[in-house]
């Protein structure tokens, strides 16, 4: 098995992003050029602009690299921080962090893109983002109820690389590679593992054949690993195959690439995605520190391509489990045209106790959002039930009971209000 200190590798896929139909002129991607005059006929998005933070980090730690290198997602993958020595060069590691990396074996290695590394606090080991991607000794402690496959995905996998847990939708796992490895990953058992990081073509075809012959499937969620780590050719092939299946009504992609590697959202990629509607995307945001100018540009490109964007945020102890942090994240997402979708209770994977909050904390946070800010900023708090029970929403109880035929409701500010309700009563309320 790989350790946390293995050498960086290329992301899966046979094609090279340099094989593009796009010409370049003055830093602008050009879709076509008049062959007589040389005039630009149509322009797409410009190159990513470097934030001051990125520029300073590039100059300090990658002095031989250019801004074009930095804005190349493949360069970002090739230069991921993978070793204890490289990480120690960039941040002041605590004794616990150093010891945890030294002890690491198995799947879920250390992997951090230079861009995402630039967001880390170099001196503060308790910074939220740093806690999510740098190992600590808590990873080696297994608590009650934890296991490597808490959602029972393997038991709901009729063919390799596919999970069929809900009646009308499936989860298609196309790679075990991520550009950045989150330490609380629910698929820590498989991501970053040795061998191919994209699912074998034969397994992909087998999964697609299963979807094609299973008429009840109307919704396909593509995940992994991170599906946007695939090269354009392979991703487009999968999307087009799914489009040809008549009973598949829409496709979703789950990804953290726009957050950890926003330069992956190229004009070429958005063109592909735009041709595959109806397509939705669930983005994995954790903390407001991720809301950088580069991420704003990536989200804008996706939204401008007509892709509805939702966020999936995992509730993490001492990372985002206070109302100010969570509200700042939700507001920032809306400014970037991303709808807060789910707030997940952290799954009980092995070694995750130091990340998990009581479920009551999630309910408390939702109560702190509901009514105190726009409803668009309030995600649904869910527990993904162990052993394949699916996502179960857990909400604050705003129902006080009944008084005669009046339903008694508690508002966000503590006031009690009556609503005439003479029909069948809510079963879980009590008489007032």
The question of whether 403 is a catalytic residue gets the answer no
Q: State the catalytic residue, choosing from 182, 276, 299, 346.
A: 182
The question of whether 182 is a catalytic residue gets the answer yes
Q: State the catalytic residue, choosing from 271, 337, 391, 398.
A: 391
The question of whether 276 is a catalytic residue gets the answer no
The question of whether 68 is a catalytic residue gets the answer no
Q: State the catalytic residue, choosing from 166, 237, 398, 402.
A: 166
Q: State the catalytic residue, choosing from 2, 80, 185, 232.
A: 185
Q: State the catalytic residue, choosing from 82, 130, 131, 187.
A: 187
The question of whether 324 is a catalytic residue gets the answer no
The question of whether 246 is a catalytic residue gets the answer no
The question of whether 346 is a catalytic residue gets the answer no
Q: State the catalytic residue, choosing from 165, 183, 256, 367.
A: 165
Q: Are 278 and 290 in contact (CB under 8 A)?
A: no
Q: State the catalytic residue, choosing from 131, 178, 197, 341.
A: 178
The question of whether 397 is a catalytic residue gets the answer no
Q: State the catalytic residue, choosing from 231, 232, 321, 347.
A: 347
Residues with active-site annotation: 165-166, 169, 178, 182, 185, 187, 347, 384, 391
């Amino acid at each position: 098995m790989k350790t946390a200190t293995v050498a960086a590798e290329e992301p899966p896929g046979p094609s090279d992003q340099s094989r593009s139909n796009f010409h370049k002129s003055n830093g602008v991607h050009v879709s076509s050029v008049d062959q007589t005059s040389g005039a630009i006929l149509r322009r797409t998005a410009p190159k990513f602009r470097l934030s001051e933070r990125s520029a300073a980090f590039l100059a300090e730690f990658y002095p031989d690299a250019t801004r074009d290198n930095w804005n190349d997602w493949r360069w970002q993958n090739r230069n991921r921080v993978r070793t204890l020595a490289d990480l120690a060069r960039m941040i002041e590691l605590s004794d616990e962090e150093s010891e945890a990396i030294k002890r690491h074996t198995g799947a879920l290695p250390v992997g951090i893109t230079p861009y995402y590394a630039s967001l880390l606090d170099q001196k503060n080991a308790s910074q939220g983002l740093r806690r999510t991607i740098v190992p600590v000794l808590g990873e080696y402690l297994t608590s009650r109820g934890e296991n490597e496959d808490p959602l029972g995905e393997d038991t709901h996998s009729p063919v390799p690389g596919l999970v069929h847990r809900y009646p009308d939708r499936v989860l298609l796992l196309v790679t075990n590679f991520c550009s950045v490895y989150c330490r609380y990953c629910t698929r820590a058992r498989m991501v970053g593992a040795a061998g191919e990081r994209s699912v074998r073509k034969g397994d992909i075809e087998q999964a697609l054949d299963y979807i094609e012959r299973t008429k009840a499937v109307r919704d396909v969620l593509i995940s992994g690993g991170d599906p946007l780590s695939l090269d354009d050719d392979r991703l487009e092939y999968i999307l087009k195959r799914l489009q040809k299946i008549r009973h598949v009504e829409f496709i979703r992609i789950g990804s953290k690439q726009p957050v950890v590697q926003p330069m992956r959202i190229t004009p070429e990629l958005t063109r592909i995605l735009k041709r595959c509607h109806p397509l939705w995307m669930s983005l994995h945001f954790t903390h407001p520190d991720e809301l950088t100018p580069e991420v704003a540009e990536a989200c804008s490109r996706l939204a401008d391509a007509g892709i509805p964007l939702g966020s999936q945020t995992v509730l993490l102890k001492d990372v985002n489990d206070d109302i100010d942090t969570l509200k700042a994240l939700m507001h920032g997402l809306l400014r970037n045209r991303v709808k807060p979708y789910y707030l997940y209770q952290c799954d009980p994977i092995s070694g995750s106790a130091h990340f998990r909050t009581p479920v009551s904390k999630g309910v408390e946070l939702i109560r702190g959002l509901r009514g105190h800010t726009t409803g668009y900023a309030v995600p649904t708090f869910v527990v993904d039930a162990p052993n394949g029970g699916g996502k179960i929403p857990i909400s604050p109880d705003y129902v006080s009971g009944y008084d005669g035929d009046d339903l008694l409701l508690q508002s966000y500010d503590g006031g009690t209000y009556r609503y005439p309700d003479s029909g069948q009563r809510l079963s879980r309320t009590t008489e007032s």
